[in-house]
Amino acid sequence: MSESRVPRLRRFLVCEPRHFAVQYAINPWMNPDTRVDVDLAREQWTALIDAYRARGHSVDRLEPVPGLPDMVFAANSAVVVGGRVFGSLFHAPERRPESGHYDLWFKTAGYAVHRPGSVVEGEGDLVWTGRYLLAGTGFRTSREAHREAQEFFGHPVISLTLVDPYFYHLDTALFVLDEENVVYYPEAFSAGSREVLRRLYPDAVLATRDDALAWGLNSVSDGRHVFIAPQAEALAGRLADQGYEPVPVDLSEFHKAGGGIKCCTQEIR
């Protein structure tokens, strides 16, 4: 069945974890007493880049900046649709300086960048489906930013409320498989948001809390290959049954900071 799943080549922007560390706590996964193995983090990150390139995807790199340990989480820097860049305004003061470095990369690459006036954390909470943006709120990104994104892109924005602090960004609780379907963990969402997702995606792949805690929802799909945490073995099996091809990539060192595969991956559309 996987032969019928057609991958679409993507362009990704990433940032090497040269200065990665857990120096503060801005989500339940983070503990400043946790020691990070930077060499292992770089090995794991390099394996992800190699996995993307092995399947034909192009990868651009942004130079990391000392003192910004979370800069590796490129997805939070912006959301890019149709060559238009909607930047970030981080909730945590510690991360706000990251935005300027990402904005400069986009501007140097020839893109105009919209500076948001409301707190918004890029693809962490704004997920492009091919037809509209699913937009998370509840912990980081403000509802006002959803309205701002809709005005900027001219695409519908569908607000979804997150209710579990362990899944503080939409990209920890949901990912897009292709233009027809998604995977999500229902209990991460409010009752009304679960109903919205059920109506939009009646055939969605539903994940368990174990899948979500294993970082299985922080995955990247090209329509056929699903780059997924190996710890989410059960979810990978269900995706294989649906005709997708799981590509396990271990980013366990980044779980210490509340991040995974998608967090490290900004898509340039």
What residues are labeled active site? Answer: 169, 263
Q: Is 137 in contact with 147 (CB distance < 8 Å)?
A: no
The pairing of beta strand 11-15 with beta strand 266-267: antiparallel
The pairing of beta strand 157-161 with beta strand 133-137: parallel
Other Cβ atoms within 10 Å of 237 Cβ, number:
10
Contacts of 202 (CB under 8 A, 6+ apart): none
Q: What DSSP state is assigned to residue 122?
A: G
The pairing of beta strand 58-62 with beta strand 78-81: unpaired
Structure tokens at 100: 């300027």
Nearest to 73 by CA among 219, 232, 258, 227: 258
The pairing of beta strand 245-248 with beta strand 157-161: unpaired
| Cβ-defined contacts of 144-152 (< 8 Å, 24+) | 144/117, 144/118, 145/89, 145/116, 145/118, 145/119, 145/120, 148/116, 148/117, 148/118, 148/120, 149/79, 149/86, 149/116, 149/120, 152/84, 152/86, 152/114
